[in-house]
Structures are given as structure tokens and as C-alpha cells.
Amino acid sequence: MPIWNKEMECMPREEMEVLQLRRLKGALKYAYERSAVYKKKFDDIGFKPGDLKSISDLSKLPLTVKEDFRDNYPFGMFAVPMDKVVRLHASSGTTGKLTVVGCTQSDMGNWTELVARMISMTGVTSADVTQIAFGYGLFTGAHGLQYGMERVGATVIPISGGNSEKQLMLMKDFGTTVLVSTPTYALHLGEIALEQGIDPKKDLKVKFGLFGGEAFSEEYRKEIENRWGMLATDNYGLSEAGGPGFSGECHLICGQHIAEDQYITEILNPETLQPAKPGEKGEVVITSLCREAVPVVRYRTKDVSSIDYTPCDCGRTTARLSKITGRTDDMMVIRGVNVFPSQIESVIVNVEGLAPHYEIIRYNKGFLEDIEVRVEINEDIFIDNYAVLEAIEQKLKHQLFKTLSLNPKVRLVEAHSIERSAGKAKRVIDMRTKS
């Protein structure tokens, strides 16, 4: 399978580190001289860009957080005047103010290049027809995938999110071979297809799914692949660190290749914020090496993963990010045990009789926190068949205990009773009262 940019994607490790160090020195100098925010951050600890001698010196610098973007809304994080900015993107958070990022012409070029690499890794080529079912708008996802697809030469159908019937109609009529969406939407769309008498495996030609926007488990991937008869790959990126193109899985599905020539990735222990041991899971922290409009130095993603630096069998030498298993924000501490929604998901998908649609309700129980797991049963099981339901419930409880060492409350609910989403699914519902 062809590699889009052999020079960068197959560079020997030592050479890559030399390139990264050289670019990092330049990026820190650039941020210090052009951004008031970084100048202050560096000055506060008495750090001059010239003080950096090795990549590991990066850990001496303060972290950058989402609040930095919010506090400097709208353009305080920008390192170029507005006449150099050709694009603005923003993401909204739960707390109101937008996180605003921008691109120069050069940033747009780099972005397109990185997404083209990521797409080529999955096996998608100029012969493919891609339906982009991410919502267009201020989010980077849909746009980034479109640029990369067009650079690779694939045909793009920019249908945007939602409108499932039209999605299916175009898939049939235009001969779509690639679906770009959130994993939640892929599963939902597969369900609607079946309801309409369309078997995605037989009646449609979709053979690749490029999924992003939310973390999903291996079991969830299998469920999508089985339903669609496709290769489902995961990719990762966030607007503060350049959007999609940061990392993505190759067709071998063994971690996400990171665009290391343009980003340095650290993994930090979420509690101590010190570098995690090699291979250990921790919070992903990103430093951009080439971004002009909005460079980031040590940006805290709050996403949890680990890095593998060994070369991949696909021929690429770039380090690989393991599947994102959750966000440090999503981590629940239930009776002293750290629990991520993704762990619960992987249990649910493996219990026969359950559909992969669930909600986790967080609530108070006295001074402690507890959770209730609500899961849909498969539609071929009758909700009044108590013996069968009882058996499924026992199995689920048993498996949850095996995985979490906890006995959360479990409730089986009717098929299709949990709200579906065209974007990210809302898995966790917080019913805790503040004390």
C-alpha cells in the first residue's frame, strides 16, 4: 500500500528526533516573540527559548489549558496579525465561551497534507467516494477531512451530519465507498438502513469508515464493522492542536500514527503531571512545531492514552498513540475505583442480548458517588420475558464486577428508548447534587 509522505512517515527515529528538536527550538522562539500569552508564561518561570537543549527540557515549561483560550477570547492566543489569518474555527465547551483557533495559508497547507497522510494510511485512494457526515460549521472535523480527501483525489460528498434517509439514498445512488462520521452515528445509520430494508453489507458499497470526534472501544468497532462490512479506523485531533490529521490508524489497526514532524506528544501522569513511564497510560499533551496562527506549547488535551515508539509493520516509523480510553474529565471515582465510560462500554458490547446503546447515570448515595448503567436490550428480546432479562442482567452484573471490581446498579431498557445522536453520544448523565 502506498505511503503518502515516505520521507516524514518512514524517517528513522534518531533523524526524527533531530528534526523535532530543531523545529521545537524554532517554535518556542516563535511563540515567545509573537504571543503575549507565551511570553508571560515563559517569563514567569524565567525561561528563555534558548534554554531548551533537548526535547525532554520541554517538561520544564508550564502547560497550556483550554481556559487559556477562553481567557484570551477571541484572538489573544494568535501569533499573527489578522491579515495573515485565512480561516477561523471554534469549538464550544460546556462552560459557554468559545475556543477560537485560526489558520494561515501555510497552516491550511500543512493541515491538508497531514489529513492526506492519515487518509492514505487506511487504504482510501483517489478511486473512492467519500460521504462526510460530520457536521460542517465551526468545527474542524468535516473541513479537514474534505481537504485531505480532495488532496488524495477521492470524490467528496459534503452532506454534513444528520438526515439519515438522505445519507442512505446518496450512499446508494452515488456509490459511496467511505463514510466519515462519529462512530455513534455510523452505528445509528446502520440501524436505520436495516429498518428501511437496506442491508449495508450487501446493498451498499461502503468499505471504509474513518471515525473521529469521540472515543470508542474495540468492541464498538467490531459492532460497526460487522454491521457495515467495512474497515473501521479511528483518528484523533482537536481544534486547539490543528484539528484532524494529528494522528490516525493505518489499515493494520495497531495504534494511531502521530504526525511527529509537526507535533511533539508527551504522556503525563494525570495526578502528578510528570512524564509517565514509557508505555504507561496518561494524559496526552501536545506541542505544535509548525503552526503559525495559533501555536500551542504543551497543550493539555485531557485525553488518556499511551505511546508506542516501535516501528509499525505497515512500514511507518512514526510513534503510535494507543486508543484514547477516555478523558481525565470523564474519569469517575466510584468507591475509590477509577472508572472510565469506555470500560463499561466494552463490557456491554460483549454481553449477548444487549444493544450497544447505553447511559451511565452518576448520582449521590449519602456522601458517596454511585452509578447506574442503563442499557438497551436487543429488539428481538421481549421486554416481558423476565427469565431471559434476568439472565442477561446477571451476566452484565457479573462482567461489570469482573472488569471494574464494582457492583453498579444495572437497568435494562427497551430497544430504541435511549436517545440517538447524529454527533457525539451523551453517555454520562450527571444527576449528582452539589453538597
The enclosing H or E element of 191 equals helix 183-195
CB of 140 to Zn ion, least distance (A): 24
Q: Which is nearer to Zn ion, 192 or 253 (CB)?
A: 253
Q: Which is nearer to Zn ion, 129 or 210 (CB)?
A: 210
CB of 119 to Zn ion, least distance (A): 14
Residue 359 φ then ψ, to 5°: -140, 145
Q: Using the rule CB under 5 A, is 371 a contact of Zn ion?
A: no
**Contact range with Zn ion by CB under 5 A, out of 16-24, 65-73, 308-316, 413-421:** 308-316
**Contact range with Zn ion by CB under 5 A, out of 29-37, 56-64, 306-314, 363-371:** 306-314
Provide the H-helix boundaries in 35-140.
Answer: 36-44, 66-71, 105-122
Among 55, 98, 198, 314, binds Zn ion (CB under 5 A): 314
**Contact status, residue 248 vs residue 256, Cβ threshold 8 Å:** yes
Beta strands in 194-334 (DSSP E): 208-211, 231-238, 243-249, 256-258, 263-268, 282-288, 299-305, 307-308, 320-321, 326-327, 332-334
**Contact range with Zn ion by CB under 5 A, out of 94-102, 132-140, 312-320, 378-386:** 312-320
**Contact range with Zn ion by CB under 5 A, out of 81-89, 130-138, 303-311, 315-323:** 315-323
Q: Show the cell assigned to 274.
A: 510528570
CA 342 to chain centre: 13
Q: Using the rule CB under 5 A, is 119 a contact of Zn ion?
A: no
Q: Which is nearer to Zn ion, 252 or 333 (CB)?
A: 252
Q: Using the rule CB under 5 A, is 103 a contact of Zn ion?
A: no
- Size of the chain in residues: 435
Query: What is the C-alpha separation between 69 and 75, in angstroms, rounded?
Result: 8
CA 116 to chain centre: 17
CB of 88 to Zn ion, least distance (A): 33
Query: What is the C-alpha separation between 210 and 232, in angstroms, rounded?
Result: 6
233-252 residues near Zn ion, rule: CB under 5 A: 250
**Contact range with Zn ion by CB under 5 A, out of 154-162, 290-298, 309-317, 350-358:** 309-317
Q: Which is nearer to Zn ion, 182 or 235 (CB)?
A: 235
Query: What is the C-alpha separation between 248 and 24, in angstroms, rounded?
Result: 22
CB of 255 to Zn ion, least distance (A): 8
Query: What is the C-alpha separation between 29 and 27, in angstroms, rounded?
Result: 5
Q: Which is nearer to Zn ion, 42 or 263 (CB)?
A: 263
207-236 residues near Zn ion, rule: CB under 5 A: none
CB of 316 to Zn ion, least distance (A): 5
Among 115, 180, 312, 349, binds Zn ion (CB under 5 A): 312
CB of 247 to Zn ion, least distance (A): 11
249-288 residues near Zn ion, rule: CB under 5 A: 250
Q: Which is nearer to Zn ion, 192 or 314 (CB)?
A: 314
Q: Which is nearer to Zn ion, 248 or 282 (CB)?
A: 248
Q: Which is nearer to Zn ion, 250 or 290 (CB)?
A: 250
Longest CA–CA span in the chain (Å) reads 71
Q: Which residue matches cell numbers 517538561?
A: 59
* 228 CB-near residues (< 8 Å, 6+ apart): 179, 186, 190, 200, 201, 204, 206, 209
Q: Which is nearer to Zn ion, 253 or 388 (CB)?
A: 253
**Contact status, residue 287 vs residue 299, Cβ threshold 8 Å:** yes
Q: How many residues bind Zn ion (CB under 5 A)?
A: 4
Query: What is the C-alpha separation between 62 and 106, in angstroms, rounded?
Result: 27
Query: What is the C-alpha separation between 351 and 56, in angstroms, rounded?
Result: 44
**Contact range with Zn ion by CB under 5 A, out of 34-42, 151-159, 172-180, 313-321:** 313-321
Q: Which is nearer to Zn ion, 19 or 314 (CB)?
A: 314
Q: Which residues bind Zn ion (CB under 5 A)?
A: 250, 312, 314, 316
